[in-house]
Structure 1
Amino acid sequence: MAKIVVIGDVGGCPAELSKVIAPMLDDPDVRVIQVGDLVDRGPDSSGVLAFVEQQPPGRWTQLIGNHESQYVGGDSFWPHRLAEDDARLLEEWWLKERMRVAAAVRTADGEEYLVTHAGLTVDAWRELDEPVTAATAADLLNTRPDNLLWRDHGPLWAEAGPGLYEPWLHATQPMPFSQIHGHSTIVSYRRQTWMCGERIRQRSTVDWTARHTVTRLGAAHFVGIDPKHGTVGAPTWAPLILDGATLLS
């Protein structure tokens, strides 16, 4: 068992990443999962990639976000391209499986979480033949199914409220495991307002300082951890810390 630290989107803000995470890495029991979107939007994508490149792969699990996907087979959408060396580094991570699609963890109290960039939608779960454990779902996603990976409802692009939470809320089958994701959120942290339907709002709580949301759907729940860094970093944010957890996949 370890202390698993799950980091939301970084968005080209290396100072914010290093300030919070570097001290935690002094603890040999810490294992990191970062949910993708390391690059774009902020002031220094190169600095973020350099920081991650320095971390031992055995202690740092790097997931792919939609912004990284532009350099490994996904459509290009961001107006500003990365430097050639940075683009090559992302391609190398992908080819060497240093960058993955999903991870799975089990907490100290036995709850399983699937960790992806944007979340596993009902439709995507069905396309994977309805895996019943987070570890199985992660293993299937890490085969990189092309028919799913780059699509709007896939694990790099799903939008938290209408694309992810609402369909699971109305699904005939309950979500079989909990999920942790970045990419989008059901609140505006800057305005401290909700941006979701009332049924989701009633099931959700928010930590405005850490910039986390929790939405409960029956026995399982979603934890959203995108801190919404912009062209400058968020004034406050925190990773999700799972003490005594086990990395399953």
Structure 2
Amino acid sequence: MNGRIIAIGDIHGCHQELAELLERIAPTKDDRLIFLGDLVNRGPNSCAVIDIAKARGALSLLGNHELRLLNFRKTSDLAFLKETDHDTLDKLRPEDWAYLEQMPLTHYVPELNTVFVHGGFLPGQPWQKQPADIVTRIQVIDRDGRPRKRAEAPGAPAWADLWNGPPFVVYGHTSRPQIYKHKWSVCIDTACVLGGALTAYILPERRFVQVKAKRAYYP
């Protein structure tokens, strides 16, 4: 592995913060950029984020927000959508849909024994075989061992609290005010769209770089 791997947490349309973060990190042609899903929705300009991802040659993973939009596009079933999705739907261009449709679920780097994913994994099962519904949405594990969102199982442990690796997992999705680090995982969704920060995790040096949100874009 020649260059660095630069993973960036949930961007949610915050194109100015993304541009500032990339300027600060100054990726070279040898570096690999990985966006951990949820490039779109809630923030000011989803299309501009996709433009930056394409211009920089980033590998963008599928997040639950992209999955919702793609499911709606396939089925026309409004049950897939949330209120804030409609604004994005109105603005996405054909080339944006093409970009969303090619997003992989995970990216594994054997030299670092590290896997990148949007949401996470159900502990105790092979991570490679877990479906999009789990790996883009999981936040906590309920008392029956099922993957849930935090709101569905208040007080349940985070999946990462029960994940003993290997591999090491770099993920987003579960927004927190601070980076959430364990021996075998790190969450870098620091809630930029809510007024927090946009976070990058740089490997192999294991360094974090952050820029503060210009404001809260979503309540």
Q: Structure 2 length as normaliser, TM-score? A: 0.71
Deviations 1:84-140 (A, max 9, x none): 451644431244x3x11100124xxx54111100011126xx2xxx36xxxxx3xx5
Give the C-alpha shift of residue 179 in structure 1: 0.6
Contact kept in structure 1, 2:47 and 2:96, CA below 8 Å: no
Map of 1:29-178 to 2, 5 A cutoff?
Answer: 29-56=30-57, 60-73=58-71, 76-80=80-84, 81=86, 82-86=88-92, 88-95=94-101, 97=102, 99-106=103-110, 111-122=112-123, 126=125, 130=126, 137=128, 140=129, 148-150=131-133, 154-159=134-139, 162-168=157-163, 174-178=164-168
SS of 2:18 mapped into structure 1: helix
Identity of aligned residues (%): 23
Q: Report how many aligned residue pairs link the two structures.
A: 182
SS of 2:47 mapped into structure 1: helix
Aligned equivalent of 2:174: 184
CA distance in 1, matches of 2:39, 2:100: 14
Name structure 2 gaps, 5 residues minimum: 73-78, 141-155, 207-219
CA distance in 2, matches of 1:242, 1:212: 15
SS of 2:34 mapped into structure 1: strand
CA distance in 2, matches of 1:243, 1:167: 24
Give the C-alpha shift of residue 24 in structure 1: 3.8
Contact kept in structure 2, 1:94 and 1:100, CA below 8 Å: no
Aligned equivalent of 2:190: 227
Aligned equivalent of 1:207: none
Query: Runs (4+) of structure 1 moved beyond 4 Å?
Result: none
Q: Structure 1 length as normaliser, TM-score? A: 0.63
Name structure 1 gaps, 5 residues minimum: 132-136, 142-147, 169-173, 190-210
CA distance in 2, matches of 1:25, 1:72: 32
The residue identity in structure 1 corresponding to 2:169 is Q
Q: Which has the higher helix share?
A: 2
CA distance in 2, matches of 1:111, 1:23: 24
